[in-house]
């Protein structure tokens, strides 16, 4: 008997009929002899609806007290879907019980709307599993040390599921989504995109960090740290599909490189529209300048992505970096009010109409000229590169947002990602 964790996204839980199908699928796995833990997201659109209500009441409030209430509000979406799934399972004749994150307990820090999991108490869950019950645990949320409900940020149910699988030492964590696996890029942008049967943990980590929406990056980090076997598959296959066939479907996130992995120089194209670029112009080119700029941004709990510092000219330099588009206005206000005047910056400018496009592949380690092929392909399409960032298995560029789809299609063709792997 194996312990299996299933995670279901919002579209999978989007109606009572879909919840009923999830219940039938879970019951099938339980009747096959597996102990089952299920982590559902809120019903599709519910979190946006709840947060929209909050913003109607207070469109500009951004205090810690406000974010505490946002978490208390947003967490109700997962609690509703978890209870509904438990009811659906009971209607299928399958004993089931649902728990909120604070009941398990999933302990987090107190960073409201962006909390991080610190520990999971597995005793209550183990007792229910041993009693033959399916255990349903709300995704996306936990509780801090003072008893306040916290949420993990968008996509946090993926992280909840993998963290629970790690804490419970599950045999496998299956992430059910509205797509049937990980693709070479988004099929909505490139219809010729192919589903990957296997992708390495490192490639998946890069793709998640670079904008792929299949898995939240923190869930991949958890999976890598605790070696949780992870599989991405579709919740829209018939629920009564043969369980052995289902267990081998989708895309497996692998922790061991196989011989075929080196053959694919580039495995996928990731992109992210949610980027904004900020440039602090004419600051002193002295030791500590990067810390003075980025330290203030980090203190405001704003994450920075790509960074470029220009060559010094007459003792001055320009410093550019990217942030999430949601943090753009706040970052600009912070820099103009505090950092710019303190450093004597000539000007602070920003651009919220950029995007990041990246090529990812573990085979890039052993092949030369990959980045130059990327740059050539973009040049042939007349696309100007504003920023470049590289690592061992990826190259990312910042370009004008209006060229994003053109860039993705061109790169997908350049690296033959529309061709079946050998």
CATH 3.40.630.30 fits 268-414, yes or no: no
Q: What is the pTM of this model?
A: 0.81
Confidence class of residue 209 from pLDDT cuts 50, 70 and 90?
Answer: confident
Please give the pLDDT value at position 254.
83
Alpha carbon distance 160, 141 (integer Å): 8
Span 164-174, mean pLDDT? 95
Confidence class of residue 262 from pLDDT cuts 50, 70 and 90?
Answer: very low
What's the CA angle centered on 405, arms 399 and 409, to 5 degrees?
110
Please give the pLDDT value at position 46.
96
Confidence class of residue 258 from pLDDT cuts 50, 70 and 90?
Answer: low
Is pLDDT of 252 > 90? yes
Choice between 318 and 218, residue whose per-residue pLDDT is larger: 318
Considering the chain, what is the average pLDDT of its residues? 92
- Number of CB atoms found within 10 A of residue 128's CB: 18
Confidence class of residue 136 from pLDDT cuts 50, 70 and 90?
Answer: very high
Domain ranges of the chain: 3-256, 268-414
Please give the pLDDT value at position 263.
53
Is pLDDT of 121 > 70? yes
Alpha carbon distance 18, 43 (integer Å): 10
Please give the pLDDT value at position 62.
74
Helices 64-91 and 16-31 cross at an angle (nearest 10°) of: 60
Span 7-30, mean pLDDT? 97
405: left (phi over 0), alpha (psi -120 to 50) or beta: alpha
Query: Comparing 3-256 with 268-414, is the CATH topology the same?
Result: no
Is pLDDT of 21 > 70? yes
- The fold adopted by the segment(s) 3-256 is Carbamate kinase (3.40.1160)
Confidence class of residue 261 from pLDDT cuts 50, 70 and 90?
Answer: very low
Span 164-177, mean pLDDT? 95
Span 66-82, mean pLDDT? 96
Span 396-409, mean pLDDT? 96
Is pLDDT of 260 > 60? no
Is pLDDT of 337 > 50? yes
Q: What is the percentage of the chain residues whose pLDDT exceeds 70? A: 97
Is pLDDT of 200 > 50? yes
């Amino acid at each position: 008997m194996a312990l299996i964790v299933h995670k279901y996204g919002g579209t999978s839980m989007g109606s009572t009929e879909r919840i009923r199908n999830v219940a039938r699928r879970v019951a099938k796995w339980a009747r096959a002899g597996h102990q089952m833990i299920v982590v559902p997201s809120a019903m599709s659109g519910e979190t946006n609806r709840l947060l929209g209500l909050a913003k109607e009441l207070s469109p500009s409030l951004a205090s810690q007290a406000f974010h505490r209430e946002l978490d208390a509000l947003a967490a109700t979406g997962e609690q509703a879907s978890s209870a509904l799934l438990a009811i659906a399972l009971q209607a299928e004749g399958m004993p089931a019980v649902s728990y909120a994150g604070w009941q398990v307990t999933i302990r987090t820090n107190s960073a409201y709307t962006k909390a991080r999991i610190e520990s999971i108490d597995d005793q209550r869950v183990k007792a229910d599993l041993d009693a033959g019950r399916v255990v349903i645990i709300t995704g996306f949320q936990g509780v801090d040390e003072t008893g306040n409900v916290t949420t993990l940020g968008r996509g946090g149910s993926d992280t909840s599921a993998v963290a629970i699988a790690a804490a419970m030492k599950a045999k496998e964590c299956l992430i059910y989504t509205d797509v049937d696996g990980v693709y070479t890029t988004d099929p909505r942008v490139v219809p010729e995109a192919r589903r990957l049967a296997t992708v390495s943990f490192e490639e998946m980590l890069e793709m998640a960090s670079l904008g792929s929406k299949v898995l939240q990056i923190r869930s991949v980090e958890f999976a890598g740290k605790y070696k949780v076997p992870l599989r991405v598959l579709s919740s829209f296959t018939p629920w009564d599909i043969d369980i052995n066939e289902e267990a081998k479907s989708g895309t497996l996130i692998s922790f061991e490189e196989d011989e075929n992995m080196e053959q694919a120089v580039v495995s996928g194209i990731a992109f992210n529209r949610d980027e904004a670029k900020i440039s602090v112009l004419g600051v002193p080119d002295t030791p500590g300048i990067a810390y003075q700029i980025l330290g203030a941004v980090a203190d405001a709990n704003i994450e920075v992505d790509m960074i470029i510092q220009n060559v010094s000219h007459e003792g001055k330099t320009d410093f550019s970096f990217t942030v999430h588009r949601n943090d753009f206005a706040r970052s600009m206000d912070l820099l103009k009010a505090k950092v710019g005047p303190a450093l004597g910056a000539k000007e602070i400018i920003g651009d919220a109409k950029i995007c990041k496009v990246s090529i990812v592949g573990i085979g890039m380690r052993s092949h030369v000229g990959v980045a130059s092929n990327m740059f050539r392909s973009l040049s042939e399409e007349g696309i100007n590169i504003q920023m470049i960032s590289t690592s061992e298995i990826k190259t990312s560029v910042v370009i004008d947002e209006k060229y994003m789809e053109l860039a993705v299609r061109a790169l997908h063709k350049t690296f033959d990602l529309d061709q079946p792997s050998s």
